[in-house]
Amino acid sequence: MMLASSQPTLCGVNRCRLPSKHDGNHDPYPTKAWSFMRPNDKKKLVKAGFATPRGGAKGAYQNHVVRSNQVIIPFEKYYLAPLDEYEDGYVVRLLPEQYFESAGVSKPEFLRPDNPIQVGKNAFVLYRTHSAYKQFPPPAEWQIRYLEKGEESTTKRGKDVQDRGHYVLRISTASAGEGRLVDGVPQGLFAPEYADRETNYLCTCVLAWLIVHTVGSPYTTTMANHLKAILVEADLFDESRYEHKGVLRHGLCSCPLCLRLIQYKQLHEIVSFEDAIGNGNAAEQIEGATRSTIVNLFHILPLRYDSIRHIPENVAWGHAVCNTRLGQRSCHSLAELMETDLKVGIIKEEGIETFGWISGDYEMIRSPLGAVWIQLSRDMDGDEYTPPQPGEGDEGSIGSGIPVVLQDEEGVEDSSLDR
Ligand SMILES: [Zn+2]
Ligand SMILES: [Zn+2]
C-alpha cells in the first residue's frame, strides 16, 4: 500500500529507518531524519541524548557520553535497580564504609563466591574522603580501576574493553586540606539517566518532532516527513497521547507543568531573572539558572533508580523554571487529574466553590486554566511524633560517621538542566 505521496516508506532491511531505496549503508538510527534542522537545534537534540554532566566527576561518573553506556549502581540501590535492562552493562559502587568491616578486613558477605557483587569484577570501592581512606585503606593487592582491551590498557571504553581493578579515588581538597587524590577511570553514568540505543534514538525523534511544533518554529511538517514516518512506524505518532500528557496543546509544543506553549526561541535563550517573575511568582533562586536555556528536556515522570524512564512516552520540552519547581515529583497532566475526578474547592457560606482537581497522591492540584499547586512537604505519620528514647541515636552512625548519602545522588539534581 502506498502512503500519502510525500511521506516516505522506510527501508526496513535490518531494521533500517532510512527511506526505502536509499543510497549507501542501512542505518537503524539515522540522524538524517532531522538533517533539515539548524545546527543549534541539532546540538540540543544531541545533548538530550547525553547523560547530564554531574558534579565534576566526583562520583566517578563518566560525563559527555550518550545514555547507552555502562551505568553505576550504588550498592544501596542494587536490589532496586532493573539490572537486566542495562544492555550496556553496570558496575556496583561501594563506599569503604559499606565494604569494609575494619581496616583491611572486608565484610564476610563480600568474600562469599556466591555474592553477586564482587569487587574487582562487577564492583568497585569509591574513596571520597581522606578520613575513609585512612580508616579503610585499600588492601595492598588492590589496583586502581583501569580499562583493558585484550592485554593492553586503554583509556577509552568501547567494544571488548574490560574494567579491571578494585577502587577509584575521588578525594578533593575540601575534605581535609590534605591535597587531592584522584585516580581511576570514570566508571559509568548516573543509572537513572540510562537508555539503550534504540530507546535513546526514539526519544530524540520525539523531541525533534516537538521542536517542529514549537510556536514560531522555522520548520514545516513537510520537512519532517521522514521523521514522521519513523514515529508512525514506532507507534509514537498518536497526537492525542501527547495532548493527554500536556506535551502538546492544540497541536503545539507545550510545557507539561504550566501548560504554556513553548516558543521556538526559548530553546536557545538563557533563563533570565524576568522569566522567573513572568512565570507567575516573585523572583526565586533557580539552580544553574545562569547557564540554563529557558526550555530544556523535561521528564514527565522523574528519573529514578527503580525503572528506566528516559523513554519516548516520558520526554517533553519544558521550562527550566518549571522543572526546578516540580523537583522529583511526577507531572500529572490536567487530563489525568480530571479523569481521577477528585475535585477540590473552598467551603463558603453560599456553598462550595471548586477550583481544580487534585492528584490521587495529593501532590498536585491543577486548575483548568493552567494554575498549579504543588505539595511542598508531607504530613508526618504517627511514628514521627514519638520522642527518641534516652541514649538512642548515639550509635547507628556508619563507620567514620561520615554521611553515606552522597550529595549528588539525592535523586536527580541539576534539575534546571535536565530532570
Ligand atoms: Zn536501509
Ligand atoms: Zn512551564
pLDDT at 365 over 70: yes
Write out the residue range of the structural domain in which residue 102 sits: 50-193
Residue 29, in any domain of the structure: no
- Ligand found nearest the CA of 30: 1
Query: Ligand 1 mean position to 90 CA, how many Å?
Result: 32
Q: What percent of the chain has a predicted confidence (pLDDT) above 90?
A: 71
Higher pLDDT, 49 or 395: 49
Instruction: Check whether residue 237 and residue 156 sit in a common domain.
Output: no
Residue 403 lies in a domain: no
What is the distance in A from the centroid of ligand 2 to the CA of 304?
21
**CA-CA distance, 319 to 392, in Å (whole number)?**
45
The pLDDT of 257-279, averaged and rounded, is 81
Cα of 374 from ligand 1 centre, angstroms: 48
pLDDT at residue number 403 = 41
The span from the CA of 142 to the CA of 164, in Å, is 10
CA–CA separation, 162 and 307 (whole Å): 26
Residue finishing a domain among 143, 176, 193: 193
Give the closest ligand to the alpha carbon of residue 280.
2
Give the Cα separation of 246 and 262 in Å (integer).
Answer: 12
One domain for residues 368 and 299: no
Q: Of 193, 228, 249, which residue constitutes the final position of a domain? A: 193
184 and 303 inside one domain: no
Mean pLDDT, rounded, for 339-367: 94
Average pLDDT of the segment spanning 134-149: 95
| 345 and 306 assigned to the same domain | no
Shared domain for 59 and 115, answered yes or no, is: yes
pLDDT at 155: 84
In this prediction, residue 255 carries a pLDDT of 98
Asked if residue 132 and residue 233 are part of one domain, the reply reads no
**Nearest ligand, CA of residue 16?**
1
Could you tell me the distance, in angstroms and rounded to a whole number, from the CA of residue 31 to the centre of ligand 1?
13
Both 180 and 216 in one domain: the answer is no
CB atoms within 10 A of CB 168: 23
pLDDT tens readout for residues 71-84: 999 999 999 999 99
Residue 379: pLDDT band with limits 50, 70, 90: confident
Q: Which ligand is nearest to the CA of 21?
A: 1
* pLDDT value, residue 7: 80
Confidence class of residue 178 from pLDDT cuts 50, 70 and 90?
confident
Each residue's pLDDT tens digit, 270-312? 987 555 544 444 444 454 445 789 999 999 999 999 999 999 9
Convert the pLDDT of each residue in 384-416 to its tens digit. Answer: 666 656 555 444 433 444 444 444 443 443 433
Per-residue pLDDT at 153 exceeds 60: yes
Tell me, yes or no, whether 136 lies in a domain: yes
- Residues at Cβ < 5 Å from ligand 1 ion: 11, 13, 16, 18, 26
Q: Of 161, 193, 225, which residue is a domain's last?
A: 193
Identify whether 310 is part of a domain: yes
Q: Looking at the domain assignment, is residue 340 inside a domain?
A: yes
Mean pLDDT confidence for 3-15: 82
User: In the chain, how many domains are there?
Assistant: 3
In the predicted structure, residue 12 carries a pLDDT above the cut 90: yes
Q: Is the pLDDT assigned to residue 357 strictly greater than 50? A: yes
Using the mean position of ligand 1's atoms as its centre, give its distance from the Cα of residue 313 in Å.
26
**Considering the domain boundaries, does residue 236 fall inside one?**
yes
Same domain for 91 and 150, yes or no, is yes
Give the distance (Å) from ligand 2 centre to CA of residue 375.
Answer: 17
Ligand 1 center–CA 26 separation, angstroms: 4
Domain assignment of residue 171, yes or no:
yes
Give 233's pLDDT tier (boundaries 50, 70, 90): very high
Stated pTM of the model: 0.85
113 and 185 in a single domain? The answer is yes
**Taking residues 124-136, what's their average pLDDT?**
94
| Domain assignment present for 4 | no
Which tops the pLDDT comparison, 215 or 290?
215
Residues 301 and 343 in one domain: no
- Mean pLDDT for 252-257 is 98
β-pair partners for 366: 357, 372
**360 and 235 together in one domain:** no
Is the same domain home to 310 and 269?
A: yes
Burial tier of 172 (Cβ tally within 10 Å: 0-12, 13-18, 19+): middle
pLDDT of residue 184: 93
Neighbours of ion ligand 2 (CB under 5 A): 255, 257-258, 319, 322
Strand-by-strand arrangement of the 152-154 sheet: 152-154, 146-149, 161-164
